[in-house]
């Protein structure tokens, strides 16, 4: 019998399968059901920075219009607590934590420094075990340089780390020219984990009805190569944990991510498609792979993976392109 327990972000997980941030992690019932099926942890549906700011501004405006005579409401923490969105998220954390000791990771989808980061403390106070910052910014302004965007990301991480004592991870996109260096810089800032990768919303055009629509929402089972490559390349070069996210739809892919060096593996699309019971299948499938390879625990899985991927995973680099594509037509 294989032991699946593992550590991620310095926390104990009974197994490395985490249900990633999505609608399924937005209610206590749904979360507890996935935990019953064996999920090792959950990342809550994100609170969006824009929503926090909009709601907060609306509350403030309403109170100012009422000419609230009690100016104490301007006390920073007082008016924060009145924001429903965060109250709801805090309640969700409390509801889940009272019934389980499985780690619950709160998530904020953010893109700017602003003042919102102090809200992270409320999620910590509600009992979140860790915080995942989904750094999601489409660099659409052509006059803004990469270094400016990165400076903002690093500032967000610094400020959030100053406000909370729970572990903090960032979920990043794969679209950086110098992805390895970006990860190294987050690592130097003391980030506890990097989630590779977030998935941008896919726009599409409905040419029959002349309107902009969403493209496919779920991932494709064959698109896990970017996460696999980058976890393999970076694992031995950084001290923070790495979590795989993107196109993990089968026990085999789950096992591959762990071999590449992932400390945890997040799944979303496949749970939407196959239902929460599929968590049990993924875990028993992982156990079968471990038994087949005679690996009895996560340390042995990672050690076996390191032997397969020597020299910082250089097997994922350019030389492989020549090897596999160059021979394809022969
Ligand atoms: C319906 C849906 C809702 C999502 N909502 C969020 C969210 O609120 N915050 C977030 O960081 N990621 C969100 N994601 C992205 C997932 O967490 C995950 O990164 C992405 O789907 C890739 O994983 P997968 O291939 O297992 O689906 C969502 C994905 C889906 C399909």
* 3-state SS class at 103: coil
Beta strands in the chain (DSSP E): 6-8, 11-13, 17-19, 41-43, 47-48, 104-110, 130-135, 168-172, 193-196, 203-206, 211-214, 241-245, 264-267
Structural domain boundaries of the chain? 6-326
Q: At what angle do helices 225-234 and 179-188 cross, to 10 degrees?
A: 50
Q: What is the pLDDT of residues 71-122, one digit of tens each?
A: 444 444 444 444 677 889 999 999 999 999 999 999 998 877 777 777 788 8
> Average pLDDT for residues 179-188, to the nearest whole number?
97
Instruction: Provide the percentage of residues in the chain whose pLDDT is more than 70.
Output: 84
Beta strands in 87-128 (DSSP E): 104-110
Model's pTM, two decimal places? 0.90
Distance, CA 217 to ligand 1 centroid (Å)? 9
Q: Which CATH superfamily is domain 6-326 in?
A: Aldolase class I (3.20.20.70)
pLDDT at residue number 6: 98
Q: What is the pLDDT of residues 7-33, one digit of tens each?
A: 999 999 999 999 999 999 999 999 999
Query: Atom 2, ligand 1: which residue's CA is nearest?
Result: 22
Q: Tokens 């799944």 sit at which residue?
A: 267
Categorize the per-residue pLDDT at 268 as very low, low, confident or very high, splitting at 50, 70 and 90.
very high
pLDDT tops 60 at residue 305: yes
Whether a cis peptide bond, with omega within 30° of 0, leads into 197 is yes
Q: What is the pLDDT of residues 30-76, one digit of tens each?
A: 999 999 999 999 999 998 876 766 666 666 666 656 655 454 444 44
Ligand 1: lining residues by beta carbon, under 6 Å: 20-23, 45-46, 107, 109, 134, 171, 198-199, 217-219, 245-248, 267-269
Give the whole-angstrom CA distance, residue 120 versus residue 134. 13
| Residues 6 or more apart in contact with residue 252 via CB below 8 angstroms | 285, 289
Measured on CA atoms in the order 29, 33, 35, 41, is the torsion positive or negative? negative
Q: Which of 17, 19, 22, 198 to mutate to test the pocket of ligand 1 (most atoms within 8 A of CB)?
A: 22
pLDDT at residue number 200: 83
Which atom of ligand 1 is nearest to 134's Cα?
11
Query: Atom 5, ligand 1: which residue's CA is nearest?
Result: 22
pLDDT at residue number 150: 93
Instruction: Give the number of other Cβ atoms within 10 Å of residue 326's Cβ.
Output: 9
Longest Cα separation, the chain: 82
Distance, CA 108 to ligand 1 centroid (Å)? 13
Q: How many CA atoms lie within 13 A of 118 on its CB side?
A: 11
Q: What is the pLDDT of residues 216-261, one digit of tens each?
A: 999 999 999 999 999 999 999 999 999 999 999 999 999 999 999 9
Which atom of ligand 1 is nearest to 249's Cα?
26
Distance, CA 136 to ligand 1 centroid (Å)? 12
pLDDT at residue number 251: 98
Helix, strand, coil shares of the chain as percentages rounded to 5? 50, 15, 35
Task: Kindly tell me the burial class for residue 35, based on how many C-beta atoms sit within 10 Å of its own C-beta (0-12, 13-18, 19 or more).
Answer: buried
Do the beta carbons of residue 282 and residue 267 sit within 8 Å? yes
User: How far lies 266's CA from each of 117, 212, 243, 311, 328, in Å?
Assistant: 24, 30, 7, 26, 33
């Amino acid at each position: 019998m294989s032991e699946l327990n593992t550590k991620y972000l310095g926390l104990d997980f009974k197994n490395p399968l985490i249900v990633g941030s999505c609608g399924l992690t937005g209610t206590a019932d749904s979360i507890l059901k996935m935990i019953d099926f064996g999920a090792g942890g959950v990342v809550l549906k994100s609170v969006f920075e824009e929503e926090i700011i909009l709601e907060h501004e609306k509350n403030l405006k309403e109170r100012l219009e009422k000419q609230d005579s009690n100016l104490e409401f301007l006390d920073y923490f007082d008016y924060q607590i009145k924001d429903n969105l965060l109250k709801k998220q805090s309640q969700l954390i409390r509801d889940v934590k009272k019934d389980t000791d499985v780690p619950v990771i709160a998530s904020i989808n953010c893109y700017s420094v602003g003042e919102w980061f102090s809200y992270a403390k409320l999620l910590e106070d509600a009992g979140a075990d860790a915080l995942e910052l989904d750094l999601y910014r489409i660099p659409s302004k052509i006059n803004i340089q990469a270094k400016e965007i990165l400076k903002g990301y690093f500032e967000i991480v610094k400020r959030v780390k100053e406000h909370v004592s729970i572990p903090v991870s960032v979920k990043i996109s794969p679209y950086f020219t110098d992805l390895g260096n970006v990860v190294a810089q987050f690592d130097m800032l003391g980030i506890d984990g990097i989630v590779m990768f977030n998935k941008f919303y896919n726009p599409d055009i409905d040419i029959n009805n002349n309107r902009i629509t969403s493209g496919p929402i779920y991932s494709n089972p064959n698109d896990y190569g970017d996460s696999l490559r980058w976890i393999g390349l970076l694992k031995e070069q950084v001290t923070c944990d790495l979590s795989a996210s993107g196109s993990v739809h089968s026990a085999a892919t789950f096992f591959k991510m762990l071999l590449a060096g992932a400390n945890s593996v997040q799944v979303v699309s496949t749970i939407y498609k196959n239902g929460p019971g599929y968590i049990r299948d993924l875990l028993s499938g992982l156990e079968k792979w471990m038994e087949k390879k005679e690996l009895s625990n996560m340390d042995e899985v990672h050690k076996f993976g390191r032997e397969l991927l020597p020299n910082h995973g250089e097997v994922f680099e350019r030389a492989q392109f020549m090897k596999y594509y160059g021979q394809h037509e022969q």
